[in-house]
Amino acid sequence: MPTYRSSHRPGGESPGSVAARLTGCSVAGERPLSSALTEVALDGGQSVIVKRASDPGAAAAEAAGLRWLAEPGSVRVPEVHGHDAIWLVLDRVPSGRASKAGALRFGRALAALHAAGADAFGAPPPGGPVDAAIGLAPMRNVTAAQWPGWYAEQRVLPYLRSAVDSGTVRADEARLVEQVCARLPELAGPAEPVARLHGDLWSGNVLWDADGEAWLIDPAAHGGHRETDLAMLHLFGCPHLDRVLDGYEEEAPLADGWRERIGLHQLFPLLVHTVLFGRSYAERALRAAESALGR
């Protein structure tokens, strides 16, 4: 059994008192998990996660994203018990290991989530802000009717400019990414309907419960291209990814050539990582740009 204790923070509200205020339940104990996360045991045996947001508005954005992803009833996401400008209270996902059967079901569920759609490319979840975030980086949810121009202007070029301004990417290197953006209408493949994206679907945001079933956390949810979520699963690996893809294609076959477009869709998260973490990701982004151009 985990050991719970008080984690009151001097000069501020403790996670336990936040959980009590936002759930209306009495608290039995607290167990810090990180600087931002605390597991709180409620009277009656239920455990919740209390998360302190990185900046004002982030908790509301995450809550809106989780509720939007839950709406179709396809993927598992933690229930949101409440939030304010700083704090978010969620169900705790029991920890376990991935299973092949669970991965297959996750692929099918992810396809169904994407098919639930959104109003436009870049559309935020209902109640979600235009000025949102992906991890610790800002992300604007500005809408457009066509994916190629939107992806270039709202997802690739803002982070490329930041990387150039900071000196992480050289101006001559940036021209390679700009060439990809200029050719996006021909590189993007067949037109796709707007998908309801998790938006930050790297493996760390896929949790596996005690039954080997997948749960999604920490979304940067918006309307986008379904291949972007799948490219992000490829970026840092995912348990039983081949089974995830099998399940996805059973539910909603992908357009021809989608594997050749993985680098194109990875440009966005790799440039975000370049802005946040530096040169090693810039080099990966440049390789992804070369891949998108067929080099």
- Give the model's pLDDT for residue 117: 98
Band of the pLDDT at 280, cuts 50, 70, 90?
very high
Q: What 3-state DSSP class applies to 70?
A: helix
Size of the chain in residues:
295
pLDDT digits (tens, 9 = 90+) for 168-189: 999 999 999 999 999 999 999 9
Report how far apart the first and last C-alpha atoms of the chain are (Å, whole number).
54
Q: Which CATH superfamily is domain 15-91 in?
A: Phosphorylase Kinase; domain 1 (3.30.200.20)
Work out the pLDDT band at 2, boundaries 50, 70, 90.
very low
224 has pLDDT over 80? yes
* pLDDT greater than 80 at residue 27: yes
Contact 48, 91 (CB under 8 A): yes
pLDDT given at position 11? 40
Q: What order do you get walking across the sheet with 37-42 strand by strand?
A: 27-32, 37-42, 47-52, 87-91, 80-83
Q: Return mean pLDDT, the chain.
A: 93
| The two three-digit tokens of residue 295, written as one number | 């080099």
The rounded distance, in Å, linking the Cα atoms of 218 and 246 is 24
The yes-or-no verdict on residue 5 having pLDDT over 60 is no
* Long-range contacts from 167-174, C-beta under 8 angstroms, 24+ separation: 168/274, 168/275, 168/278, 168/279, 168/282, 169/274, 169/282, 169/285, 169/286, 173/282, 173/286
pLDDT(165) > 60: yes
Query: Catalytic residue at 200?
Result: yes
Say yes or no to pLDDT of 114 above 90: yes
pLDDT given for residue 9 in this prediction:
44
Residue spans per domain, the chain: 15-91, 100-292
Full-model pTM: 0.93
**Above 80 in pLDDT, residue 204?**
yes
> Do 238 and 244 form a contact (C-beta atoms < 8 A)?
yes
pLDDT of residue 223 exceeding 70, the answer is: yes
Neighbours of 13 (CB within 10 A): 16
pLDDT at 212 over 60: yes
Q: Which of 55, 119, 200, 246 is catalytic?
A: 200
Residue 169 confidence (pLDDT): 97
The predicted model gives 272-282 an average pLDDT of 96
CATH class of 100-292: alpha beta
How far apart are alpha carbons 106 and 115 in whole angstroms? 14
Q: Is the pLDDT of residue 4 over 70?
A: no
Dump pLDDT digits (tens) for 52-94. 987 778 899 999 999 999 999 999 999 999 999 889 999 999 8
